[in-house]
């Protein structure tokens, strides 16, 4: 298991290549926090989801609060 992530360089390659550095930091912090918070399946909205699935969903939601994906280019840009 890759958790907890110690640096943005340890994030999955697909995430590292998709997001700008600041968004990677948001992703990493949110994923690590969710990994700890939802270790008990009873704490998850859907106990059938894995701990990793929950951590990634929360991490992406955290990124989407600050960044938006440009539909034309696919690049993630900070919201105005």
Report pLDDT digits (tens) over 57-73. Answer: 999 999 999 999 999 99
Q: Which two tokens stand for residue 29?
A: 């912090």
* Residues of the chain below pLDDT 50: none
The range of the structural domain enclosing residue 28 comes to 20-38+50-80
Q: State residue 54's pLDDT score.
A: 97
- Measure the CA–CA gap between 45 and 43, rounded to whole angstroms: 7
Query: How big is the CA angle at 20 (ends 70 and 54), to the nearest 5 degrees?
Result: 85
Residue 5 lies in a domain: no
Q: State residue 2's pLDDT score.
A: 82
Looking at the structure of the chain, the number of domains it has is: 1
Residue 54 lies in a domain: yes
Q: State residue 14's pLDDT score.
A: 95
Q: State residue 12's pLDDT score.
A: 96
């Amino acid at each position: 298991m890759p958790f907890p992530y110690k640096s943005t360089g340890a994030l999955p390659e697909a995430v590292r290549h998709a997001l700008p550095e600041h968004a990677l930091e948001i992703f990493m912090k949110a994923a690590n926090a969710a990994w700890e918070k939802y270790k008990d399946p009873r704490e998850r909205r859907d106990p059938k989801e894995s701990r990793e699935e929950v951590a990634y969903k929360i991490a992406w939601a955290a990124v989407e609060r600050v960044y938006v994906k440009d539909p034309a280019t696919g690049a993630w840009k900070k919201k105005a």
